[in-house]
Amino acid sequence: MQLVIVTGMSGSGKSTVMKVMEDIGFYCIDNLPPTLIPKFVDVCEQAGGSLNKLAVAVDVRTGDMFSEIYNVLHVLKEERQEALRIVFMDTADDVLLTRYKETRRRHPLLEKCSSVEEAIRLERELLAPLHAKADYRIDTSLMSTSQLGKEIRDIFLENQNDSIQVKMMSFGFKYGISAEADLVFDVRCLPNPYYVPELRPRTGLESVVRDHVMRSNDSLMLFSKITDLLTFLLPLYIAEGKSQLVVAFGCTGGQHRSVTFAELVGDAIAAKGYRVYKLHRDITKGH
């Protein structure tokens, strides 16, 4: 069980961190009262391996209950020996003040203070012991959202390729272009098994159809160029914080050529260490 506590100053980027943590496979809970964290961990441990990576955001939004976090951390680390790490998000006071003015959001401690400036100072005092206990302290004063996402992935991912999921989709143009696709490749220029009577009822999931599609040098060259392009693009998408890339291959009916390319390119990208899954949207519509 991996347990990450995300805390820090209000407006410092905790919500962004939680989104990134969820994208990389953590089960995330935001604004959980500290006293409930051990019970939450117990429930997840009982669920088995499906919930073995947890991220919990805890901050002063829980009001008077927040002070319990220190006792809870002691129990988790010292008594229960949990694999616990604390991420403290910080930002300079003047930057926080600007962010609150720009977003017009209400500081969670404003009811106890006469101004946002005073609320920020009070919050920093309340969080000082937690700041000292943190395993990672991240200052977002001059950091973009994509830079923050990269830092979180660098900390918690052994394999950076795991931060993005690649969806390989086949479809038929006669049924409409996929609306969710990020990249669309038209493979109608390749040999069409539809015109071979014994191949017409088959699909690109079968080797006999794939062999027919890939028999030409043009097919092999297109496969090579698309694979090279995706190999070049995927690290760039990861650097920008993209968590899913939908690559769609279209042919006339979505049964032969597009399926072949979605399968073969998908296998090639998976072999490079990326998380790939496949969807053949129109594969059964011609039957």
Q: In this structure, which amino acid lies at residue 142?
A: L
Average pLDDT over residues 189-198: 94
Res. 104: pLDDT tops 90: no
Contacts of 207-210 with C-beta under 8 Å, sequence gap 24+, read 209/256, 209/259, 209/260, 210/260, 210/263, 210/264
Distances from the Cα of 20 to the Cα of 31, 77, 146, angstroms: 16, 24, 10
- Cα–Cα distance measured from residue 262 to residue 278, given in angstroms and rounded to the nearest whole number: 7
pLDDT band at 180 (very low <50, low <70, confident <90, very high): confident
pLDDT band at 206 (very low <50, low <70, confident <90, very high): very high
Query: Is the model more confident about 130 or about 242?
Result: 130
- Cα–Cα distance measured from residue 9 to residue 93, given in angstroms and rounded to the nearest whole number: 9
Please give the domain boundaries of the chain with CATH numbers for all domains. 2-157 (3.40.50.300), 162-280 (no CATH)
pLDDT band at 77 (very low <50, low <70, confident <90, very high): confident
Average pLDDT over residues 43-69: 87
pLDDT tens-digit series, residues 264-282? 999 999 999 898 989 999 9
pLDDT at 287: 59
Asked if 263 and 204 touch (Cβ cutoff 8 Å), the reply is yes
242 Ramachandran zone, left/alpha/beta (phi>0; psi -120 to 50): beta
Please report where in the chains the tokens 């930057």 appear, as a residue: 95
Res. 263: pLDDT tops 70: yes
Query: Considering the chain, what is the average pLDDT of its residues?
Result: 90
Res. 163: pLDDT tops 80: no
Please state, for a pLDDT cut of 70, what percent of the chain lies above it. 98
pLDDT band at 10 (very low <50, low <70, confident <90, very high): very high
Res. 45: pLDDT tops 70: yes
CB neighbours of residue 183 within 10 Å: 13
Res. 227: pLDDT tops 90: yes
- Please indicate, yes or no, whether the overall pTM of this predicted structure exceeds 0.75: no
Res. 49: pLDDT tops 70: no
pLDDT at 16: 93
